[in-house]
Structure 1
Amino acid sequence: MSIQQTSTGKFIDGEEVIAIELTNSKGTCVEVLNYGAIINKFTVKNAKGSLQDIVLGFDDLEQYVNAAYLENNPHIGAVIGRYANRIKDGKFSIGNEDYQLIKNTGTDSIHGGVIGFDRKFWTIVDSEADNQSIVTLEYESVDGEEGFPGNLIVALTFELTENDELILTYEAETDKATAVNLTHHDYFNLAPGGGRIDKHKLQIFASNYLEQDENYCVTGKIIPVENTPFDFRTEKEVSRDWNPEEGYDQTFVLDKIYGDLTLASKTFEDESGLVLSVYTTEPVAHVYTSKYLRVKNGKGGRDYDAFDAICIETQHHPNAVNIEKFPSTVLQPEDLYTQTTIFKISNYK
C-alpha cells in the first residue's frame, strides 16, 4: 500500500493542482486531485491481466476549466455539493426561512449551482501510507455560497483497500440549518478500449424509481419498476430496453433499510471481465448513461460522446428538501452528516 502526492505543474485560479495517488499491492491505482476532489484515474487489472483505466478524465488537467468544457459542465469525476441533482425552481424553505438558489438548468438548480464543490480547491488535511492508502480532503463552504445558508465544513476521505475497494466516506457539519445532499460524479467505462456502454450489463437492487417532470426534476411520486424499462432487478444489457435517443437519467429507490451499507448495483463488461459493485449507505442511486456528454481531448486525445460512460450517483432523493415524505436532506447544527459509498472492482471471468 502506498500514497504519493505530486505537483502536476498546473495552476487553476492561481492555486496549484496536486495529484494524490493511492496504490495497493495488486497495482490498482486511484489518482485524486485536490481540485474538485476529482477521481482522475482508476487503474485496475482486468481478467486478461492487463491494466486499464475505468474512469473518464483528462491528461491535461487544464481541460477541467476549458471554456467549452464548462459551458455544459458534465462534472467528470468530481464531488457534487452542496446538493446533488435538481432542486425544483431553485428554491426551498427551512423553518420560516425561504432560500433562492441560482437557477443553472432551466428553471431549476442542479449540482450545487454555477460554481459547486466540483470547482473548488480542497485542502489535503490527512494522508496515511503505513499499511493503508488513505487521504482526506476538506472544504469549507461559506454562508450564502450559491444561495445556501450556513457555513458548511465537508471532509471527504478516499481509501483504497487490498480488496480493490475504493471507499468514499463523507462527513459534514454546519453552523446553521442547511440543505445537503452529496455524491460523486464518476463516469465509468469498463471496456478495454472505451467507446459506448450499450453492451455493458447492469443490475440495480431497486424495486422502484422516482417520477421526473419534463426537466428531469423529481416530483415525489414513486413508481414500481416492474413491467417498465427501468427494471434492472435482474442483470441485463444497459441498452436492452432503453430509448436509444435518451438512455437513462433516472433515480432508483434502493431496496434497503435506510442508513445500512448495502449493495446498490453491479455493472459487468464481457471483454474486460470486470465487474463494478457499488455499495452505499444512501437510499437512492441515480443512473446516468451520459446522454449529454460532449467532451474534446479526453485521455489519450479521445473525444467523449453520448453514451460513452455510465454514472452511478449514490445520494438522498433529489429535490427531497421540497418533498416532506422523502428522507430529510436538512442538516442541523447539532447533527453530523455522514455517508459511505464503496466502488469495488473484481473479475467475473
Structure 2
Amino acid sequence: MNIKQEQTGIFIDGKEVISVELSNSKGTYVKIFNYGTIINKFVVTNAKGIPQDIVLGFDKFEDYLSEDYLANYPYLGAIIGRYANRVKNGQFELDEIAYQLAKNNGDDCLHGGINGFDKKIWDIVALSESPIPSVTFQYFSLDGEEGFSGDLAVQLRFDLTDNNELILTYQADTDEATPINLTHHSYFNLSVHGGNVKTHFHQMNASHWLEQDGNFVVTGKLIPVADTFHDFRKGKLIGENWNEEQGYDQTYVLDKSYGELTLASKTTEASSGLSLSIFTTEPVAHLYTAKYLDVKHGKGGKHYQPFDAFCVETQHHPNAVNIPDFPSTILRPDDIYHQTTIYKVSINEL
C-alpha cells in the first residue's frame, strides 16, 4: 500500500486528527496531519543508504498542541493562510472598504492571524494510489474569519512521485473579493545529525530582495543582492558571510516569468549527500533560518534551537495587499487561485 491512514483519537472542534502517509518505490515516505496539513515526516534515503527525516516536528501529535510549543509558536510544517507573512498594521483597503485583521505580531498581522489555516482541521476529500500516491485536503474559511472578507474554499493536494518529488498543488475560490497568499512552512535540515544549518550550501535564483521595516514588514522597495550577503545566485554556505545573530529572514524576488514553474532554490548538505530543490509558480521565496526557534522535546527528544533549520516559503510578495506596484493578491469570485510548489530530494556523491 502506498497510502496509510491513522486515527489519533484526538478531536479538535468535533473533528478527529488523522494522519496520512504517502510512500513511493524508493522508500521515501511523507506523513501529513489533517490539522494544519502539517508535514510531520519527510523520510528519504541519504547517500549512505540510511533513512533520514529532513523536516522538524514531533514524535507525538499532542506536542503540537502543548502550551510550551504554542507560547513560542514557529508554525512547524504547517500551511499558512489566508495571508502569508506580515500585513502592515493588519489593515488593507479593498474596493473602497477598509478591513482590520487580527494583530498577532506587534501591530501587524502575521501568517493569517491568531487562528489561521495552520490551526484548522482540514477535511480529507480525496485519496488515490494511482498513478502516484496523493491526498487532497479541503478547508472552508468563512467570511470574517480573522477579519478577512468572503467565504473561501481551499484545496491542497500532495502528490509523491517516484522521483522523490513532493508536489503541493493549491486551489481556491471565493464568493467575494478577498486577499489570499498561501505557503507552507516546513523547517528543513539535511544534515545527518541536525544542528546549525550554516554549513548547508544554498543557491537561490534571485537578483533582488524586499526591504523590510523594523518589524520585518515589506515596504515595497526592491534592493539588489549584488555585492551583499543576500546574493545566493551562484550558491554559497548559508553561514559564509551572514549576520550570526540574525541569520536570514528576508523575501527574495525570483528571476522568472510570472506564473512559470521554475527552480527557486537548491540546498545541499555534505554529511548526508542530500539536495533539496524547490520549484514554484510563485514570484518570491522567503528564506528563514529559524532565528526564533526554541522547541523542546522535538523528534527523538531534541531541543530545536535557533538556526537549526531553514525554510523556503514560496508565495506572492508579502504585504502586497497594501502595495499596488506588487503583483495582485486579490482573488475575485470569477477567478480561481492556483499555485504549485515542488520539494524534490536528490542524492549527491559524497
TM-score interval, smaller chain: over 0.9
Q: Does 1:304 align with 2:279?
A: no
Query: For residue 157 of structure 1, what is the aligned residue in structure 2?
Result: 157
Summarize deviations over 1:117-148 as a string: whole Å, max 9, x none: 00000000001013410000000000000000
Query: For residue 260 of structure 1, what is the aligned residue in structure 2?
Result: 260
Query: For residue 173 of structure 1, what is the aligned residue in structure 2?
Result: 173
Summarize deviations over 1:11-34 as a string: whole Å, max 9, x none: 345432111000000100000100
Task: Verify the 8 A CA contact 1:2 1:130 in the aligned structure 2.
Answer: no
Query: What CA distance in whole angstroms lies between the structure 2 residues aligned with 1:228 and 1:103?
Result: 33
Query: What CA distance in whole angstroms lies between the structure 1 residues aligned with 2:247 and 2:258?
Result: 28
SS of 1:181 mapped into structure 2:
coil
Query: What CA distance in whole angstroms lies between the structure 1 residues aligned with 2:293 and 2:134?
Result: 31
Letter in 2 for 1:46: N
1:294-333 correspondence runs (5 A): 294-333=294-333
1:178-197 correspondence runs (5 A): 178-197=178-197
Query: For residue 81 of structure 1, what is the aligned residue in structure 2?
Result: 81
Segments of structure 2 that go 5 or more residues without pairing to the other structure are none
Query: What CA distance in whole angstroms lies between the structure 2 residues aligned with 1:232 and 1:77?
Result: 24
Query: What CA distance in whole angstroms lies between the structure 1 residues aligned with 2:148 and 2:65?
Result: 24
Query: What CA distance in whole angstroms lies between the structure 1 residues aligned with 2:149 and 2:69?
Result: 29
Task: Verify the 8 A CA contact 1:2 1:131 in the aligned structure 2.
Answer: no
Query: What CA distance in whole angstroms lies between the structure 2 residues aligned with 1:72 and 1:109?
Result: 16
Query: For residue 94 of structure 1, what is the aligned residue in structure 2?
Result: 94
Query: For residue 52 of structure 1, what is the aligned residue in structure 2?
Result: 52
Q: Does 1:334 align with 2:334?
A: yes
TM superposition score normalised by structure 1: 0.99
Query: For residue 235 of structure 2, what is the aligned residue in structure 1?
Result: 235
Letter in 2 for 1:202: H
Query: What CA distance in whole angstroms lies between the structure 2 residues aligned with 1:132 and 1:252?
Result: 32
Summarize deviations over 1:295-319 as a string: whole Å, max 9, x none: 1111111111100000000000000
Q: Does 1:213 align with 2:213?
A: yes
Query: What CA distance in whole angstroms lies between the structure 2 residues aligned with 1:81 and 1:179?
Result: 10
Give, in angstroms, the shift of residue 269 of structure 1. 0.2
CA RMSD of aligned residues (A): 0.9
Query: What CA distance in whole angstroms lies between the structure 2 residues aligned with 1:60 and 1:168?
Result: 24
SS of 2:63 mapped into structure 1:
helix
Query: What CA distance in whole angstroms lies between the structure 1 residues aligned with 2:124 and 2:276?
Result: 27
Give, in angstroms, the shift of residue 72 of structure 1. 2.2
Query: For residue 128 of structure 1, what is the aligned residue in structure 2?
Result: 128
Query: What CA distance in whole angstroms lies between the structure 2 residues aligned with 1:13 and 1:169?
Result: 26
The 4+ residue runs of structure 1 with deviation greater than 6 A are none
Task: Verify the 8 A CA contact 1:12 1:62 in the aligned structure 2.
Answer: no
Task: Verify the 8 A CA contact 1:38 1:77 in the aligned structure 2.
Answer: yes
Query: For residue 246 of structure 1, what is the aligned residue in structure 2?
Result: 246
Query: What CA distance in whole angstroms lies between the structure 2 residues aligned with 1:59 and 1:136?
Result: 23
Summarize deviations over 1:270-323 as a string: whole Å, max 9, x none: 000000000000000000000000111111111111000000000000000000
Query: What CA distance in whole angstroms lies between the structure 2 residues aligned with 1:63 and 1:338?
Result: 32
SS of 1:166 mapped into structure 2:
strand
Segments of structure 1 that go 5 or more residues without pairing to the other structure are none
Return 42-51 or 10-19, whichever deviates more.
10-19
Q: Does 1:343 align with 2:343?
A: yes
